[in-house]
């Protein structure tokens, strides 16, 4: 049988995750004919809500957010107390049990708050609205694994660059995040499909071609001209969305750094000419 200290230690290990989870998982809520509060908020514009319904939903949602933040703060404060009591040198079973019970009470209140919010927000809707938002939420749930897989594939491709993506790619990601946050699942799915094509995910599976920069004319290699050309290229690279192209620019960047170290203006000019041709 586990000792009280062992039970407390086991509980503490899972508390950070468990305390923030809904009292009933979203999949179970949908199965029971209930819609998670965040889904009701996302789809509220499709529900033809009356003013008093909007006010009630807003009150329930905002109250839950405020109280949840307070309770999570209490957990954050209480958790180190239990951790210190679990130290073998100073731990007391009675004190550890007391600290554990206090954590359990906070967690229980979080679960009660979640349950009140779930039921309250669902009950604020009429039967037709509940059926509508439930259907929309179930459709979202079916799409979620597909969307998550696409996001993971995009993230893996971007991270494989080994450096920060361009501003254009960052904006693309932010626009998709915005769609998802607003519950525009279908639009987000289409945006992800388009991004996978435009970013050239398939091309990232191919070997990186070695660029022969010596095939390009150096152009103006006056020191001031080289600096201006470099700045222009650097700015324009931020508009590139193709990951395969950015991967080539990493090759150009490394070659340019080597040219700078060698004070080789001709090679630097050739590399910049290549870059300028790609960015036309």
DSSP H helices in 160-242? 167-181, 185-198, 223-237
Measured CA to CA, the distance from residue 9 to residue 29 in angstroms comes to: 30
Lowest-pLDDT range of 6-10, 46-50, 105-109, 236-240: 6-10
Same domain, 111 and 148: no
Domain assignment present for 131: no
Are residue 156 and residue 253 in the same domain, yes or no? Answer: no
Question: What is the domain extent for residue 79?
Answer: 4-125
- Domain contains 21: yes
Digit-coded pLDDT (tens) for 148-166:
999 999 999 999 888 889 9
Structural domains of the chain, count: 3
Contact 267, 275 (CB under 8 A): no
193 and 219 housed in the same domain = no
Tell me the per-residue pLDDT of 227-248, one tens digit each, with 9 for 90 and over.
Answer: 999 999 999 999 999 999 999 9
Specify whether 146 is located in the same domain as 184.
yes
For 47, 59, 205, 234, the CA distances from 190, given in Å and listed in that order, are 23, 33, 22, 30
Residue 130 falls inside a structural domain: no
Asked whether residue 171 falls in the same domain as residue 218, the answer is no
In a domain, 111, yes or no: yes
Indicate whether 23 and 94 sit together in one domain: yes
Listed in sequence order, the residues at least 6 apart from 204 whose beta carbon sits closer than 8 Å to its beta carbon are: 157, 160, 243, 244, 247
pLDDT in tens, 127-140: 999 999 999 889 88
In this structure, is residue 132 part of a structural domain?
A: no
The residue from 93, 125, 157 where one domain ends is 125
d(CA 64, CA 221): 64
Q: Are residue 167 and residue 239 in the same domain, yes or no? A: no
In 3D space, the residue among 193, 195, 279 whose CA is nearest the CA of residue 243 turns out to be 195
Residue 135, in any domain of the structure:
no
Asked if residues 169 and 204 have their Cβ atoms less than 8 Å apart, the reply is no
CB 157 within 8 A of CB 199: yes
Q: What is the pTM (predicted TM-score) of this model?
A: 0.62
The reply to whether 21 and 39 lie within a common domain is: yes
Nearest to 21 by CA among 75, 101, 59, 62: 75
Do residues 94 and 46 both lie within one domain?
A: yes
């Amino acid at each position: 049988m586990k000792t009280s200290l062992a039970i407390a230690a086991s509980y503490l290990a899972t508390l950070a995750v468990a305390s923030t989870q809904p009292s009933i998982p979203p999949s179970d809520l949908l199965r029971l004919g209930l819609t998670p509060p965040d889904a009701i908020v996302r789809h509220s514009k499709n529900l033809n809500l009356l003013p008093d319904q909007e006010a009630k939903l807003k009150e329930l949602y905002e109250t839950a957010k405020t109280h949840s933040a307070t309770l999570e703060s209490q957990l954050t404060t209480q958790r180190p107390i239990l951790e210190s009591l679990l130290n073998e040198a100073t731990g007391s079973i009675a004190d550890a049990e007391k600290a554990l019970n206090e954590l359990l009470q906070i967690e229980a209140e979080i679960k009660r708050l979640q349950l009140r919010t779930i039921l309250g927000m669902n009950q604020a809707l009429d039967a037709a609205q509940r059926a509508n938002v439930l259907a929309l939420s179930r459709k979202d749930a079916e799409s979620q694994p597909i969307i998550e897989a696409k996001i993971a594939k995009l993230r893996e491709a971007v991270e494989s660059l080994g450096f920060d993506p361009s501003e254009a790619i960052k904006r693309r990601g932010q626009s998709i995040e915005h769609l998802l946050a607003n519950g525009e699942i279908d639009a987000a799915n289409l945006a992800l499909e388009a991004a996978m094509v435009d970013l050239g995910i398939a091309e990232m599976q191919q070997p990186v071609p070695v660029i022969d920069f010596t095939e390009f004319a150096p152009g103006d290699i006056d020191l001031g001209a080289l600096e201006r050309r470099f700045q222009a290229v650097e700015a324009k690279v931020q508009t590139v969305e193709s990951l395969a192209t950015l991967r080539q620019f990493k090759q150009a960047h490394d070659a340019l750094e080597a040219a700078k170290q060698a004070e080789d203006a001709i090679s630097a000019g050739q590399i910049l000419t290549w870059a300028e041709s790609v960015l036309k």
